[in-house]
Structure 1
Amino acid sequence: MQDIHPRPLTAADFAPYGDVLEAAGDFRLINAGLCRRHHDLARLDFGAEGAAAGRAGLSIFDAEPRALPYVFDMIERHPEGSQAFLPLSALPFLVIVADGPGTRPQAFVTSGAQGINLHRGTWHGVLTPLHAPGLFAVVDRIGPTANLEEYHYPAPWRVLPPAA
């Protein structure tokens, strides 16, 4: 078993895999100056037009929390569309991504005030909340064609607690 040390989620480190969704950086004031709009934070992608066209769907996921160290041997991807995870509580969650099947995965821990949008086709681990409740709003592709591929590593990986 190989170990992974997670690091804090940052927009720069996560850019090859997707978008970090957080109320940081540039904004414009709306609602009579009482609300900061952090505008257009993610590129939502729901696939080609025509018979296989997809549309945006909004779902609620209720995931069981996991603890670190966390062991996994499977990653997945959605070749037909992006997938955004927006936590419904201000609690950190674990994000696992990889450049492709058989490559070394990377792990990130969110701040508790961040969501993510995985680019279409990004290999990633399953939704992994670290605390209850594991409630998330998820925006992803709804369509007539299959949108899930899985890869099982020949040996498991273990994500350790973040280094102190």
Structure 2
Amino acid sequence: MVHTRPLTVAAFAPFGDVLDTSGQPDRIINQGLCGRYHDRARLEFGPDGRAGVSLFDAQPRKLPLVLDMVERHPDGSQTFIPMTQHPFLVIVTLDMNGVPGSPLAFVTAPGQAINFHRGTWHGVLTPLFAPGLFAVVDRIGDTRNLQEYRFETPWMITGPI
């Protein structure tokens, strides 16, 4: 069983980047009316890809959740930016010699987005509330950039302890 925890920069660092507006802005722009939180994600698109922006409209899920599959993208990073203030579930695992290890589950705070580093095993997009509308920045290219792994024994993802 895997219990969810709040998403923090430190806890998520092995898997990717947390995009948020914590701390002071890096720059003040637009005639002093806008704080710019600069360069919050390391985007990677491999030698044969380019950046693309897509919109995803995912059905919300509820906890507890059965996790039987994770995926990764070996040729590029993948950024999920919610288009609402609702939290969403983020599931990740470390790579253990080409297969995923034990999962970790995070719940975002309103206003947080995430960027999975290239090759990070992760669960599918899992909004917890409708609408599940996200802007997604990821690799667009002709080669297949998806690997899926099905667990022999599914994991149960539950709320916090």
Tell me whether the two structures share a fold, i.e. TM-score over 0.5: yes
1:42 maps to 2:49: no
Partner letter of residue 120 of structure 1?
R
| Mapped partners of 2:93, 2:74: distance in 1 | 14
Structure 2 equivalent of residue 17 of structure 1 = 15
| Mapped partners of 1:155, 1:102: distance in 2 | 13
| Runs of 4+ more than 4 Å apart | none
Give the alignment's TM-score, normalised by structure 1. 0.94
Instruction: Name whichever of 128-137 and 100-109 sits farther off.
Output: 100-109
- The number of residues matched between the two structures is 157
Structure 2 equivalent of residue 142 of structure 1 = 140
Residue among 84, 97, 102 paired with 1:89: 84
1:129 maps to 2:117: no
Deviation of the 1:102 alpha carbon? 4.3
1:1-164 counterparts in 2 under 5 A?
Answer: 3-27=1-25, 28-48=27-47, 53-100=48-95, 101-163=99-161
Contact 2:69-2:150 at 8 Å conserved across structures:
yes
Instruction: List runs of 5+ in structure 1 lacking aligned partners.
Output: none
Deviation of the 1:112 alpha carbon? 1.8
| Mapped partners of 2:81, 2:101: distance in 1 | 27
Partner letter of residue 115 of structure 2?
N
Identity fraction in percent: 62
Instruction: Name whichever of 138-147 and 97-106 sits farther off.
Output: 97-106
Instruction: List runs of 5+ in structure 2 lacking aligned partners.
Output: none
Partner letter of residue 96 of structure 1?
I
